[in-house]
Structure 1
Amino acid sequence: MFVQVFQGRVADVTEARQALDRWARDLAPGSHGWLGTTAGVTADGTLVAVARFESREEARRNSDRPEQTQWWMETAKLFSGEVAFHDCDQVDVYLRGGSDSAGFVQVIEGRVREPERVREVLRRIEPDLDGCRPDLIGGLAAVSADGGYVETAYFSSEEEARQGESKELPARLREAFEELMGQFEGAPVYHDLREPWFYSP
């Protein structure tokens, strides 16, 4: 799997939603290797979109389509500043992966020192997460070649997610989380999508 993320400030949430709806309606049927997109706008007006593809090559084929270029030229006008892109070849799915039934999605962004170490820790804690956090449906942890990290976590609801966060973790899981947080260069940024938008083939 390959993950492409783009994000930036938008002034009009409705127009942003309409742009992604238009892509799903008009461009998705002819897309190459597209597996789905999770998007939304945070409380501070940041649009975050996480698109999943079968491979980098398929994503590139999609980007090269004239209709894709035209769509992006129009959509880019909705952003009030710079748009950041993250292309991630290392993608790990944990628990039940993404879900279009999630009521709350959190996108965690940062930079990690040792991507393979992060992958190992995530695999190690997955069985414990399943029993300890029933609010967590699953997610995707994606890392780019330069260590950029984007995790998309899907929860049943924000209320249940906050309740889950407040629980005291078992010692083994707490230690693993501390190890994971220690891999970040600086503090990660959390983007809360309280009204997530889901698009699937």
Structure 2
Amino acid sequence: MERSPDIIWAYRGKTDLAVGTQATTIEKILGWTAGFIGVVLIGFFYWKNDFDWTIWQYILAVIIAYDIVGGAVANSLNSCKRFYHSSLQTFEPNYVKLAKNHLFFSIIHIHPLIVSLIFSSASWFYGVFWYLILQISVLTVTNTPLYLQRPVSMLIIVTALLINGYFVSSPTGFEWFVPVLFIKIVYGHTVKEEPYRPETEKNI
């Protein structure tokens, strides 16, 4: 019978905020490839529909797609779960402690405000609404007992998906944005889960 991967919280090496310090090769590939897929698919959608945007708006939209789509996968990696849910290690610079703060991580994701400001001709409501809901969601999950964090995060994500689809209109071209953002932050970054590592990669 094949041995199950080990749960390992210890890590070492050069700080990697993107995919987590000491990520395995396949974890790195998954994280960076996800961002590339986001750029290709969403970028193709933008090109095909020929939105009335300036060049810099297209560039910004693609950057947002790379960050959010790639981050949704990267934050769910075992290496990221291990890194962001561990206390500051002795070999890490002090700024890492701030990066590991889930609320701070969520607060700096001002993407809804940017999308609303740059791509919405309607109002600021979309950006302000989703930015505030995101912070409330992270606070809710972090204050939820560990054994309920995953289902609570999924409840929040499903609710956000339905509100996004039927009640709060998205700026044209960003219909995908809120569901993927909430997957990235509310589940991927905030929910604490056991960080597995294959036996062949166990070199702590």
Instruction: Indicate the TM-score class for this superposition, using the shorter chain for normalisation.
Output: under 0.3
Larger fraction in helix: 2
TM-score by length of 2: 0.25
TM-score by length of 1: 0.25
Larger fraction in strand: 1
Q: Which has the larger radius of gyration?
A: 2
